[in-house]
Amino acid sequence: MTRKPSRFLSVEIGDEYDRLTVISKPWKCPRFGQWKVRVKCKCGIVKDAIIQRMVIGNVRSCGCLNKERHSKFCAMLKVDAMNKGSK
């Protein structure tokens, strides 16, 4: 039985997915059977990402994007809490 080559394998070195740049060829993780690739985030962190998640847009940074969003969200909450507290 031959399967069509996965589109995830068309990921190439130099491809960019939001903050992530691909810096290695894809390999299959023997434990989970997922295709992974080494990526470098714009913030400088190098990590391994699951290609499938990256291609569909689930993973767009090393995590710093989420942290930034989270801290902005927290800042909003704090301001909100302060406003409530002053009344």
Interacting residues toward Zn ion by CB under 5 A: 41, 43, 45, 61-62, 64
CB of 19 to Zn ion, least distance (A): 6
CA 39/CA 33 separation, integer angstroms: 19
Q: Closest CB to Zn ion among 51 and 62? A: 62
Q: Closest CB to Zn ion among 9 and 43? A: 43
Q: Closest CB to Zn ion among 43 and 81? A: 43
Dihedral sign computed on CA atoms, order 21, 24, 30, 35: positive
CB of 11 to Zn ion, least distance (A): 18
Residue spans of beta strands (DSSP E) within 6-72: 16-17, 20-22, 27-28, 35-41, 46-50
Pairing relationship of beta strands 35-41 and 20-22 according to DSSP bridges: antiparallel
CB of 83 to Zn ion, least distance (A): 32
